[in-house]
Amino acid sequence: MKIKQFEYKPLSHFSYAIISDGEMAIVDPERDPMQYYEFAYQNKAKIIAVIETHPHADFVSSHLQIHKETGANIYNSKKLGADYPHISFDDGIRINIGKATLTAMNTPGHSPDSISIVADDGDKKVLFTGDTLFIGDVGRPDLREKAGNMTAKRKELAEAMYETMLHKFTNLPNDTLVYPAHGAGSLCGKNLSDAASSTLGNERMANWAFQEQTKEQFVTTLLESQPFIPSYFGYNVMLNKRGAKNLRKSIAKVSFKMNTTAKGLLVDVRASADYKKGHLKGSLNIEDTSEDSKFETWLGAIIAPKEKFSLVIEKPQDLDMILQRVAKIGYEKQLKKVITLAKENLIADKPLNLQDFKAHPDKYTIVDIRNMSEINEGSFFENALPLPLNELRTTAKTIPTDKPIVVHCAGGYRSAAGSSIIEKLLKDVTVYDLSDDVKEFNQ
C-alpha cells in the first residue's frame, strides 16, 4: 500500500492518494484534481474511489469532477445527504483498493456526518481522520449550526466528539499512522500541531482530547477560544454537498482585460507596497504575493458569498494563479473580471511618520484588527479599538474620525487589507497602515 500526502499550504489542507495493486483511492481532494491524475499516471494506477470525510467548510472539493472524468465512485456518509451520485460509506462498510481494505467508521464531532477511514493491507494500518482528529487537537464543533443536510448545535457536536474520542479508536493499535485533513494554520481547529502526521499512540499520550476527563470538562475545553468563522464556510459546506462545477470550465468564464479600470467592489491582490504607490480609489488590498499567504481565507472572510467583485493583478502572468486561488473557495462564479491597471487615475497612500507616532500615539486613533482570540491575549497599544478584520466592513463606521487612523495587526498582512477597508468606508480622514511588526513600538 502506497500513500501520498498532498499539501495546500495557504489553507493548511492535506489530501491523500492510496495505491495498491494498480488501483487508487483519493481522500478529501482539493479543487484542482490534476495532481492526483498525475500521481495515478506516474504509478500506472486506476482511480476507482474518491472519499469525502465530510462536506468541507474551508475549501471546495473536486470529488464530482473526479467522478465525471475518471468514473471513480464517490463515497461518503449517508448522513451527508449528498446531491451527487455517491455510495454510502458508514460504520463497518469496506472498499477494496487492490490488496488494501478501507473501512469506514462514523466519527461525529466536527460535523454530524464526519467519517474516518482505516486503511489496512495486512502489514500496516493507517487512519485518515478528516477533521475529526488532528495532530494535537480535534476539529471544532461550531461550523454546522446553519449549513449542511444535518445541522447541529455546537454543544451537541462537542458532546458527540467526546464520545468519538472515548470509543471509536479503541480497537486500533498504537502504531496506527494518523493522517488528518488539516495542519497548523487551519481554522478548522485551534491548536493544531505543525506535524503532518502522527501515530495513534503518540496522540493518546499527547493530545488533550485523549486524556482522562469528564464530558463537561471536554466540552468546555473544546468550545472555548475557537477562532472566527469566515463568511464563506457555510457556503462551501453547501457547495460541497451539491458538488462543484468542473474547475477548468468554471474559471474559463472569467473575463480578463489589460491596462484598464473597473467599477463596483474591487479587490487589489498586488503587494501592499505596490498598492500604496498607486491604486484605484475604493479598492481593497488583499495580498496574494506568496504561496504561504492566507489569501483564500481573507478573501472569503471579507467578501461575502455570492457578492460580485473584480480583481486587480500585477501582470498577465498572474492570471491563472489568481483564478486557481479564487476557485479554491468557489468564488470564481461571483468574480466579474480580472484586470491589470492603467496608469491613470491612481491614488497613493501617505506614509506614516513613525517617529511622531511613537512619540505621540495619543494623536492617532489606533485600530487593532487582529482576531479576538489574539486581542484577548494582550494589546500592543493602550486604548486601541478592537475591530477584527473579518467584521471590519460592518464595524468600520464606528471608528471616530477626529484623528488620523492607524491600523495594525501582528505582522502587516492583515493591516494592509484593514486600512484599505477603512479608507473606502470613511470620508475626510487619513488612514495609515502600520505594516511592520508592532512589537517594536512597545520596546
Residue in 295, 393, 374, 312 with CA at minimum distance from that of residue 59: 295
pLDDT computed for residue 189 by the predictor: 85
User: Which of 141-145, 200-204, 227-231 has the least mean pLDDT?
Assistant: 141-145
Q: What is the pLDDT of residue 440?
A: 60
What is the average pLDDT across 196-217?
97
Residue 91's identity, in one-letter code, is D
Provide the CB-side half-sphere exposure for 100 (13 A, CA): 27
Return the percentage of the chain with pLDDT > 70, whole number.
Answer: 97
Q: Is the pLDDT of residue 437 over 60?
A: no
Q: How confident is the model at residue 376 (pLDDT cuts 50, 70, 90)?
A: confident
What pLDDT is attached to residue 408?
A: 94
Which pLDDT value is given to residue 439? 54
The band of 324, judged by pLDDT with boundaries at 50, 70 and 90, is very high
Cell of 271: 503587494
The residues with which 94 forms a beta bridge, in sequence order, are 103
Cα 332–chain centre separation: 16
Residue 378 has what pLDDT?
Answer: 86
| 225/80 Cα distance (integer angstroms) | 27
Of 2, 3, 1, 20, the closest CA to residue 97 belongs to 20
DSSP 176: -
C-alpha cell at position 243: 458538488
Rounded CA separation 40/17 (Å):
9
Residue 29 has pLDDT above 80, yes or no: yes
Cell of 352: 506614516
| Neighbouring residues of 195: CB distance < 8 A, sequence distance ≥ 6 | 135, 136, 183
Which of these, 66, 58, 13, 73, lies nearest to 37 by C-alpha position?
Answer: 66
- Round to whole Å and give the CA distance between 94 and 104: 7
pLDDT band of 148, cuts 50, 70, 90: low
pLDDT recorded at residue 138: 97
Q: What is the pLDDT of residues 30-58, one digit of tens each?
A: 999 999 999 999 999 999 999 999 999 99
Query: How does strand 87-88 pair with strand 94-97?
Result: unpaired
Cα(182)–Cα(164) distance, integer angstroms = 18
Please give the C-alpha separations between residue 414 and each of 94, 210, 254, 382, in angstroms, as whole numbers: 45, 35, 27, 20
DSSP-derived secondary structure letter, 35: H
- For the residues of 83-107, what is the DSSP string, one character each? SSS-EE--TT-EEEETTEEEEEEE-
Reported as a single tens digit per residue, the pLDDT across 211-222 is 999 999 999 999
- Which residues, listed in sequence order, are joined to residue 337 by a DSSP beta bridge? 255
* pLDDT tens per residue, range 53-70: 999 999 999 999 999 999
The DSSP bridge partners found for residue 366 are: 406
Does residue 367 register a pLDDT over 90? yes
Beta strand segments in 316-403, E: 335-341, 365-368, 385-386
Contacts of 357 (CB under 8 A, 6+ apart): 363, 364, 406, 432, 434, 441
How far are the Cα atoms of 73, 99, 171, 242 from residue 85, in angstroms, in the given order?
Answer: 8, 26, 32, 10
Nearest-10 crossing angle of helices 319-327, 295-302: 60
Residue 151 has pLDDT above 70, yes or no: no
| Euclidean distance between CA atoms 96 and 86, whole angstroms | 16
Q: How far apart are the first and last CA of the chain?
A: 54
Residue linked to cell 457578492: 307
